[in-house]
Amino acid sequence: MFNKNNLVQQVIDCLVAHDPLMVINKLLENGRIKIDEKIALIECNLPFYAPGWLSSLQADSAVQLEKILAKKVSWEIKHQVAALQSDSSKTTLANIKNILIVASGKGGVGKSTVSVNLALALSQNGAKVGILDADIYGPSIPTMLGVKNAQPSSADGKLMLPIEACGLVCNSIGFLVKEEDAMIWRGPMASKALSQVLNETDWPELDYLVVDMPPGTGDIQLTMSQNVPVSSALVVTTPQDIALVDAKKGVTMFNKVDLNVAGIIENMSFYACSQCGHQEAIFGTGGGQKLAAQFDLPFLGELPLHISYREDTDQGNPTVNKGEKPELISPYLNLAETLAINLYRNLNQASEQISITEVKSIHICPR
């Protein structure tokens, strides 16, 4: 770490004072911020993409920094997303720095819509992102991304190439079976199928793989939590009591298997009228915040209930990708930034060595 002379320390104090997410100190500790007071240059090698946070930091600190250094400050920004784990001894999967699982204690809380739009928001902020549909019994990601008729190909006859859609790469059991077919599998069979789709996909280099989990706390959740180097879990709930009861079970399960929980996302926090913009909390208020406080977890944000989210995913062009309504996109961009920063602040650097356990394939009949 650099020698803190008086001017440098003043610059540090200024940056810390204008950082509401409190990540500057860790960036300094890890040598990701360098300050050259002689030429008024701040060099940042950021381990996450957070353009809104960075822009606010630069704007809010500009006047004070100029007074400290007696000249206008220049910024040199680079990005290199860090691979993160709560246990730094874990290694990542090949090409995937961070696996984020999006879970819920019950169905009907909009988890898949959140997963897709969150993945798109991480991508729009600058990261390389993929999405895995882990809902073996009810895969919806192919429809939401507008590629339900796609079929994975293989360059080597061993690994599937992921499907590209909306700037993401994705894979799902839904690409391998007919839409009308029911997956009548017991838990162990479903878990093996998920492992096959995850480990036998030729993923490109990804900063984040977002995994849309099935609802509940069954075999698939245990498989992902215990057999896959997951960086963190996010729990999606709605504000009403019945959803919160089941969300608590999801948090409790992750705690029991010692998996980091990045925080709580409250979906459908309020209804936003598409005609007049009036907002109404039809499912109650504050439930997600209370749940986060109960488990001492970050509350990552509120997402509105709006007809466009449903219409856009039904049409295969999710709202964040469609880009027509900033008021519906902004909550996801903010969520993606807060999540990326919190992960870096709260987790440890992980090894990026290749560590893939061979999974015995099961036969999935193509269409």
Residues 6+ away with beta carbon under 8 Å from 298: 262, 263, 264, 292, 338, 342
C-alpha neighbours within 13 Å on the C-beta side of residue 53: 23
Could you report the per-residue pLDDT of 168-203, keeping only the tens digit for each? 999 999 898 777 676 677 778 888 888 999 999 999
Q: Cα(273)–Cα(261) distance, rounded to whole angstroms?
A: 32
Q: Report pLDDT digits (tens) over 259-291.
A: 999 999 999 998 877 778 788 888 888 899 999
For 6-79, the fitting CATH number among 2.40.160, 3.30.310, 3.30.70, 3.30.420 is 3.30.70
- Mean per-residue pLDDT for 128-150? 93
Give Cα separations from 101 to 112, 212, 367 (angstroms): 11, 6, 28
Cα Rg of the chain (Å, integer):
21
Which residues make Cβ contacts (< 8 Å) with residue 270, sequence separation at least 6?
A: 279, 280, 281, 282, 285, 302, 304, 305
Give the mean pLDDT of 300-319.
95
pLDDT at 307 over 70: yes
Residue 322 carries which DSSP code? Answer: H
Residue 357: band (very low, low, confident or very high) from pLDDT cuts 50, 70, 90: very low
The predicted structure's pLDDT at residue 241: 86
pLDDT at 313 over 80: yes
Lowest mean pLDDT among 4-8, 10-14, 36-40, 205-209: 4-8
Q: Do residues 121 and 332 lie in contact, with contact meaning Cβ atoms separated by under 8 Å?
A: yes
Q: How confident is the model at residue 321 (pLDDT cuts 50, 70, 90)?
A: very high
State the average pLDDT for the chain: 90
**Residue of 128 and 88 predicted with greater confidence:** 128
Euclidean distance between CA atoms 339 and 343, whole angstroms: 6
Q: So what's the pLDDT on residue 182? A: 67
Which three-class secondary structure state does DSSP give residue 7?
helix
Residue 231 clears pLDDT 60, i.e. is over it: yes
Q: Which pLDDT score, from 0 to 100, does residue 74 have?
A: 97
- E strands in 6-73: 33-36, 41-46
> What is the pLDDT at residue 89?
72
Whether the per-residue pLDDT at 246 is higher than 60: the answer is yes
Q: Is the confidence at residue 352, as pLDDT, over 60?
A: yes
3 state DSSP class of 80:
coil
Query: Does residue 10 carry a pLDDT above 50?
Result: yes
Question: Is 90 exceeded by the pLDDT of residue 353?
Answer: no
Measured distance CA(167)–CA(154) in Å, rounded: 20
Query: Which CATH code of 3.40.50.720, 1.20.1270.10, 3.60.15.10, 3.40.50.300 fits the domain covering 84-349?
Result: 3.40.50.300
Higher pLDDT, 187 or 26: 26
Assess whether pLDDT exceeds 60 at residue 79.
yes
Closest CA to 237 of 204, 205, 264: 264
User: What is the pLDDT confidence band of residue 2, given thresholds at 50, 70 and 90?
Assistant: very low
How far is residue 196 from each of residues 158, 184, 191, 257, measured CA to CA in Å?
A: 11, 17, 9, 22
355 pLDDT more than 50:
no
Residues in contact with 333: Cβ distance below 8 Å, sequence separation at least 6, in sequence order: 52, 121, 124, 125, 320
With b for 16 or more beta-carbon neighbours within 10 A and e for fewer, the 174-198 pattern comes to bbbbeeeeebebeeeebbbbbbbbb
Q: How far apart are CA 144 and CA 114, in angstroms?
A: 11
Q: Could you give the 3-state DSSP secondary structure of residue 21? A: coil
Alpha-carbon distance 33 to 27, whole Å? 6
Each domain of the chain, given as residue ranges in start order, spans: 6-79, 84-349
Contact 33/44 with Cβ under 8 angstroms? yes
> CA-CA distance, 245 to 137, in Å (whole number)?
23
pLDDT exceeds cutoff 90 at 330: yes
Ranking 90-94, 131-135, 178-182, 205-209 by mean pLDDT, the lowest is: 178-182
- In this prediction, residue 4 carries a pLDDT of 55
In eight-state DSSP terms, residue 169 is E
Q: Percent of the chain having pLDDT more than 90?
A: 70
